[in-house]
């Protein structure tokens, strides 16, 4: 089994499954992400999986996916590749989107418990990198009036680098076997990205999200590193959760739009990760604060 995580979640879950069934497991991960996602890396190794550091290019998710695909193509007769996001060739996108749809099925149960029914005016906010958790969060609401808002990684404030191809008008290109909006230079070469969030630090976006944007079924925006950090601090201080840096981008958008909405609107943010994996980054940027 071979897997590719950015934030490390997919790799951790894959390593657990491999351990359960007695399978060998290798996780391809960018060298930069290995350093900034240390807690998940430690969990992967405790489960007996091998982590393969990818030191080419930006040493992040995009390079890890490329290296894993190269390895799998050379060893596809004795191995299976697992992609933890809705990126890559068609079949991997379908498998991931189908499996993450459980998120929205669980949300329906929670909504009925909370409101007694599915609210009519509802905004579903989700961070978007490759786009797996957002597809899972929105899947069961496609035929409803729910508004979908995807929040990409806007990168550091006042920087030209980001990981938000949909928000910044990137052109269609080919990345990892799929046509999509992708950050690229004038010659069509894949461009550099930057984000405080390892899970969102990807130059492309799932073709599914490209379709949702073009069909105007979903709206996409971005939040900067600083906005995500401020949102993380506010949510962690006021609520009984401590979101990772990925959903902190979505919380930043919720904080931005909430004051303009009426009390009949319902905003739901998918807090799709815990801050434990980002504790070193958060401490270096925010220091110690009371949760």
Interval 37-78: pLDDT, tens: 888 899 999 999 999 999 998 898 889 889 999 999 999 899
pLDDT digits (tens, 9 = 90+) for 80-107: 888 888 998 899 999 999 999 999 999 9
pLDDT tops 80 at residue 21: yes
Q: Coil, strand, or helix at residue 76?
A: coil
b/e 208-236 (16+ beta carbons within 10 angstroms → b):
bbbebbeeeebebbbbbbbbbbbbbbebb
| 274: β partners | 243
The answer as to CATH 3.40.50.1100 being correct for domain 98-286 is yes
Over residues 148-161, mean pLDDT: 96
When the candidates are 3.30.200.20, 3.40.50.1100, 3.90.470.10, 2.60.40.420, the CATH number that belongs to 2-84 is 3.40.50.1100
CA 127 → CA 95, 199, 245, distances in Å? 20, 10, 10
Report strand pairing: 122-127 vs 266-269.
Answer: parallel
d(CA 78, CA 249): 39
Domain locations along the chain: 2-84, 98-286
Please tell me the chain's helix, strand, coil percentages from 3-state DSSP, rounded to the nearest 5. Answer: 45, 20, 35
Q: Coil, strand, or helix at residue 116?
A: coil
Q: Environment class of residue 136 by beta-carbon count within 10 Å: exposed (0-12), middle (13-18) or buried (19+)?
A: buried
Supply the DSSP string of 13-71, one letter for each residue: HHHHHHHHHT---EEEEEHHHHHHTHHHHHHHHHTTPEEEEE-STTSSHHHHHHHHHHH
* Helical axes 225-238 vs 279-286, angle rounded to 10°: 100
Q: What is the DSSP letter of 274?
A: B
What predicted TM-score, i.e. pTM, was given to this entire model? Answer: 0.92
pLDDT digits (tens, 9 = 90+) for 238-270: 998 999 999 999 999 999 999 999 988 999 999
Over residues 143-155, mean pLDDT: 97
Tokens in use for 236? 């962690």
Q: Coil, strand, or helix at residue 174?
A: strand
Query: What contacts 28, CB < 8 A, 6 or more positions away?
Result: 2, 3, 4, 52, 54, 64, 65, 67, 68, 71
């Amino acid at each position: 089994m071979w897997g590719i995580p950015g934030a490390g979640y997919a790799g951790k879950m894959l390593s657990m499954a491999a351990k359960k069934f007695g399978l060998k497991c290798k996780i391809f991960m960018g060298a930069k992400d290995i350093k900034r996602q240390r807690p998940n890396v430690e969990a992967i190794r405790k489960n007996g999986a091998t982590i393969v550091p990818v030191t080419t290019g930006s040493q992040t998710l995009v390079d890890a996916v490329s290296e894993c695909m190269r390895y799998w193509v050379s060893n596809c007769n004795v191995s299976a590749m697992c992609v933890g996001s809705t990126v890559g060739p068609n079949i991997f996108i379908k498998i991931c989107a189908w499996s993450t749809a459980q998120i929205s099925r669980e949300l329906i149960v929670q909504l009925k418990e909370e409101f007694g029914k599915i609210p009519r005016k509802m905004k579903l906010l989700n961070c978007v990198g490759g786009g797996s958790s957002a597809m899972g969060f929105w899947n069961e609401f496609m035929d409803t009036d729910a508004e979908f808002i995807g929040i990409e990684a806007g990168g550091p404030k006042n920087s030209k680098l980001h990981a938000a191809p949909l928000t910044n008008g990137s052109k269609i290109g080919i990345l990892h076997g799929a046509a999509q909006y992708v950050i690229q230079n004038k010659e069509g070469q894949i461009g550099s990205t930057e984000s405080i969030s390892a899970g969102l630090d990807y130059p492309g976006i799932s073709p599914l999200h490209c379709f949702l944007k073009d069909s105007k079924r979903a709206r996409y925006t971005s939040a900067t590193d600083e906005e995500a950090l401020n949102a993380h601090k506010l949510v962690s201080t006021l609520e009984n959760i401590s979101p990772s840096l990925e959903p902190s981008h979505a919380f930043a958008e919720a904080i931005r739009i909430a004051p303009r909405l009426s009390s009949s609107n319902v905003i739901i943010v998918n807090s799709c990760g815990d801050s434990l994996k980002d504790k070193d980054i958060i401490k270096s940027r925010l220091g110690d604060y009371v949760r």
